[in-house]
Amino acid sequence: MAAPIGVEPIADGLSRTRGAEVDLAFRVRGSGPPIVLLHGTSANHAVWEPVAEALAPHATVIALDQRGHGRSDKPARGYGGRDFAADVITVLDALGLERAIVGGHSLGGRNAWLVGALHPDRVRAVVSVDYTPYVEATVLDDLAVRVAGGYRAFPDLPAVEDYLRSRYPRILPGAVRRRARWGYAQRADGQWWPLAAPAAMQELIEGFRTPWDAEFRAVTAPMTSLRGADSRIVSADAWAAAIAERPGDRWVLVEGADHYIPEERPELLTAELGRLLAA
């Protein structure tokens, strides 16, 4: 019989599972009904910090570093949709939690609906931010190039922040600082490098080419989807195709935002998750 998966504290207030096939880092805030939050490609748990802080008086908010990112394990293989969905169940089990609202952005949005489809008894509701099964192959090609170009060394954290401001011009100043602090680490040579593993990023982007559209249709929990009106990832056509598949869902078009809604409009995500908490 396998030993139960444990939880251990690590530096800076984070925790990690202990004894899982892939151990995962996460931060827990608050108390009450659980909410699990999943970041996008090459990001980390801290993109959700303002949302988690706002919801902490009302919920137990668990923000993950998904596998291949941050302080979580970075296996050589295993970055398909089922792998990411299973990781959410690993964390819920380690914390002794039965059912949660699962929300995610981009990669995390895809993974949130997969948890809802593959583990319906563990999911109370799903929030998917700026991703659908119908993102075009040309968009994924471009994403792979941009993500690969971000794996580089920086002399110090201010240089990291300058780079992030240029790459994500609409995200809030605090979001830039959080991405730099939690997404990079200094190596022995003094240079700062991304914590997101480049091989993992390449494999998970290839995994996007599996649309998981049947699973998208199969989610039975209430689902809310959001799209930035200026998104470079979810086109108007990809958004319309998703709405046609699930017309009874809640669909929110966010004017004045691009792909990075959690870091541009955290108050909107707080409100959407709060609405589900109150349902």
Residues designated as active site: 106, 130, 259
Report percent pLDDT > 90 for the chain.
Answer: 98
Q: Going from the N-terminus, what domains does the chain have, and what CATH number goes with each?
A: 6-136+210-278 (3.40.50.1820)
pLDDT in tens, 194-213: 999 999 999 999 999 999 99
Q: Shortest CA distance to 51 belongs to which of 101, 15, 120, 86?
A: 101
Q: In angstroms, what is the C-alpha Rg of the chain? A: 17
Entry pTM: 0.98
pLDDT score of 70? 98
Q: Residue 222, SS3?
A: coil
Q: Residue 142, SS3?
A: helix
Report percent pLDDT > 70 for the chain.
Answer: 99
pLDDT score of 3? 74
Q: Is the pLDDT of residue 1 over 60?
A: no
pLDDT score of 4? 87
Task: Count the alpha carbons within 13 Å of 10 in the hemisphere toward its beta carbon.
Answer: 15
Tokens 């471009």 sit at which residue? 142
Confidence at 144, pLDDT banded by 50, 70, 90: very high
Average confidence score pLDDT of the chain: 97
Across 61-83, average pLDDT: 98
Across 176-204, average pLDDT: 97
Across 120-128, average pLDDT: 98
First to last CA, the chain: 39
